[in-house]
Amino acid sequence: MARGPWDIPSIITQCLSPAKLIVRILNLIFSFLRPYNPIRQNVTLVCISDTHNLIPKHVPFGDVLIHAGDLTQGGTPSEIQAQVDWLDSLPHQYKIVIAGNHDSLLEVRSRGTLDLADQNVDINWRSIIYLQEDPARLHFPSRGSHGDGCTLKIYGSPIVPHVGGPEHAFQVPRTKDLWTGRVPQDTDVLISHTPPRYHLDLPGVSPLGCEFLLREVRRVKPAVHVFGHVHAARSDIFGQLSGGQELVRWDLTERHLEGVFSAESPDGLFSFMFSLINPVTWYHLCGFWFYSLRALVLERLLWTEPPPTTRMVNAALMRCDEGWLGNEPQVIHV
């Protein structure tokens, strides 16, 4: 049975791009080996996404609950309200929600694909903070690194690269940049529905994330970036081994990682043979290895200042497109 672009690529397909497979393995290894000692504000984030009308058996307690979109499957008012009512019943101090492409009611264009009776229904958001290209500030008087209080600055946007038919909300052409300069520079936690290109995406074959979002995250460098959308990236072997998280270090290693992933995946014998000898791809692979090893030595042995980081979280609970919640909610301490 042929696999679609949203499915986990087969091992054979991934092996047709050996440099990409090797760099994914190396990235996973170096992510665990390089030190990470952030200044914490003693705030706990609980991250979920892509519940598609379903309710997980257990949602861990924390200060902030984040739902990164696709609350529903059909995007109708009754589906959205049912998810909002469930989220409202949870005990977290703050509950933040953005829409996903399946939440049709929440965007003007996609709303028109619903039944006429469903097109003008208002959602009662209750205690939920709903963000649609909006910032929010969350105050914690007794938290912070010294217990003297802190404020988390959040930004949420549902924009996704083109997915499919008009029933999909907030989609834009893949070549259209709606991200540059949009996220406030002081953002601590960024919430989007789509992943940035290559990171907790499906970079080994055909990445589905947004390249303009990646550039914007690189510019802002938030402490945490939560998203979903690409279920398979959370459900594949790399997503499982990493726990659906990736600590992106904004140094030369990330640039070389992107360089490897940006190469076209082979679709025939000739392109496969070329990929084996493509000097640009192997240059970036060697660069990733060299600068990762260099950074590991400097940070572990010489205690040099580490680069800025962003903890990326693919919070999709839906396992691939199998219709059940096979992935666990994720807990992040900031």
> Using one digit for the tens of pLDDT, what is the confidence trace for 64-79?
999 999 999 999 999 9
Q: How far apart are the C-alpha atoms of 168 and 179, rounded to whole Å?
A: 19
The answer to whether position 9 is within a domain reads no
Average pLDDT for 281-293 = 96
Average pLDDT over the chain reads 93
Q: How far apart are the C-alpha atoms of 112 and 73, rounded to whole Å?
A: 16
pLDDT tens-place string over residues 136-179:
999 999 887 777 789 999 999 999 999 999 999 999 999 999 99
DSSP 70-125: ---SS--HHHHHHHHHHHHTS--SEEEE---TT-GGGSHHHHTTS-GGGTTPPP--
243-267 as b/e, with b when 16 or more CB fall inside 10 Å? ebbbebbebbbbebbbbbbbbebbe
Report the DSSP beta bridge partners of residue 44. Answer: 333
The answer to whether position 36 is within a domain reads no
User: With 90 as the cut, is the pLDDT of residue 263 above it?
Assistant: no
The answer to whether position 4 is within a domain reads no
Q: Model confidence at 97, in pLDDT bands (50, 70, 90)?
A: very high
Q: How far apart are the C-alpha atoms of 56 and 245, rounded to whole Å?
A: 19
The answer to whether 71 and 63 are in contact (CB under 8 A) is no
Q: Model confidence at 270, in pLDDT bands (50, 70, 90)?
A: low
The answer to whether position 141 is within a domain reads yes
Q: Model confidence at 3, in pLDDT bands (50, 70, 90)?
A: low
In 10 A of CB 176, how many CB atoms? 11
The answer to whether position 56 is within a domain reads yes
The answer to whether position 179 is within a domain reads yes
The answer to whether position 271 is within a domain reads no
Instruction: Report the CATH number that the domain containing residue 110 is assigned in CATH.
Output: 3.60.21.10
Kindly report which listed range (42-56, 98-112, 163-177, 255-269) carries the lowest average pLDDT score: 255-269
The answer to whether position 26 is within a domain reads no
pLDDT of residue 4: 75
The answer to whether 19 and 275 are in contact (CB under 8 A) is yes
Q: How many residues does the chain have?
A: 334
Q: How far apart are the C-alpha atoms of 273 and 227, rounded to whole Å?
A: 35
Amino acid (one-letter) located at 322: E
| Domains contained in the chain, number | 1
pLDDT of residue 2: 46
Structure tokens at 278: 């493509």
Note down the domain range covering 105.
41-247+312-333
pLDDT of residue 1: 43
Q: Which residue has the tokens 């991250």?
A: 47
User: With 90 as the cut, is the pLDDT of residue 37 above it?
Assistant: no
The answer to whether 48 and 315 are in contact (CB under 8 A) is yes
Average pLDDT for 184-213 = 94
Q: Is 197 helix (H, G, I), strand (E, B) or coil?
A: coil
